[in-house]
Amino acid sequence: MTKSLTLTFDNGPFAEVTPQVLRVLEEKEVPATFFMLGERLALPDGRPLAESVSAAGHWLGNHTWSHSTPFGRQPSDEVVEHEIRGTQALIDGLATNRRMFRPKGDGGQLGDHLLSPKARDILLEDGFTMVLWNSIPRDWEKPDDWVETALEQCEAHEWAVMVLHDTPTGAMRHLGRFIDEARDRGIEFTQEISPGCMPITDGRVVAPITQFVGDPGAV
């Protein structure tokens, strides 16, 4: 069976990296999704960068405002609300397919640090799709040495949803080579996201999420 790969780029946008990623994706004809930070969208170059991502046919998602305390450890409902809704206010209006949210993973881990009860409630109320992942080659730790890990992770999944970062580590210099090598191995790129990575879809719980909801207590 052909293996599939969905590329996602988190923690941007950055003027010195995101346009470079867009050029590679255009050249290789790979549509992707960018999970952006509100605090970066609010910078003077944030909106134009987001518009260029959207105009190129990629999808935009919400990756929190500040990428700080994971929500499962964040006791303030007010902070959680600002992190999600404040960011979404900057994304709504840009062409994208649906409201997508990716929680901060804290080094790529999945677990009950991802969401608080308040975060879960907002995602359901506002009709979000929560996009998790099953592949994280840690490009930020090994900017010149992640391609082999990424290829191995593709081989390990029928449909990999991979987290990369359009951040200034230098890792994205190797994006074109990675795409070529994945294609040489018969891996097909898709913009669609594996249903297995979307336990909340369009505001509905479609797979168990209790393992992703912590109890940070109230303040």
Name the site residues for Zn ion (rule: CB under 5 A). Answer: 10-11
Q: Which is nearer to Zn ion, 10 or 166 (CB)?
A: 10
Q: Which is nearer to Zn ion, 165 or 187 (CB)?
A: 165
| Shortest distance, position 104 Cβ to Zn ion, whole Å | 5
Angstrom distance (rounded) from CA 174 to CA 139: 10
| Shortest distance, position 124 Cβ to Zn ion, whole Å | 22
Structural contact between residues 172 and 20, judged by C-beta atoms closer than 8 angstroms: yes
Q: Which residue is nearest to Zn ion (CB)?
A: 10
DSSP sequence for the chain: ---EEEEEEEEE--TTTHHHHHHHHHHHT---EEEE-HHHHTSTTHHHHHHHHHHTT-EEEE--SS--S-GGG---HHHHHIIIIIHHHHHTTS--SS-EE----TTT--STTSB-HHHHHHHHHTT-EE---SB---TTT-TTS-HHHHHHHHHT-SEEEEEEE-STTSGGGGHHHHHHHHHHTTPEE-SS--GGG-SEETTEE-S--GGGB------
CB-based contacts of 95, cutoff 8 Å, min separation 6: 54, 55
Q: Which is nearer to Zn ion, 10 or 83 (CB)?
A: 10
Q: Which is nearer to Zn ion, 77 or 139 (CB)?
A: 139
| Shortest distance, position 206 Cβ to Zn ion, whole Å | 23
| Shortest distance, position 100 Cβ to Zn ion, whole Å | 14
| Shortest distance, position 163 Cβ to Zn ion, whole Å | 7
Q: Which is nearer to Zn ion, 99 or 165 (CB)?
A: 165
Q: What tokens were used for 21?
A: 């990623």
Q: Which is nearer to Zn ion, 140 or 159 (CB)?
A: 140
Q: What tokens were used for 104?
A: 């901060």
| Shortest distance, position 11 Cβ to Zn ion, whole Å | 5
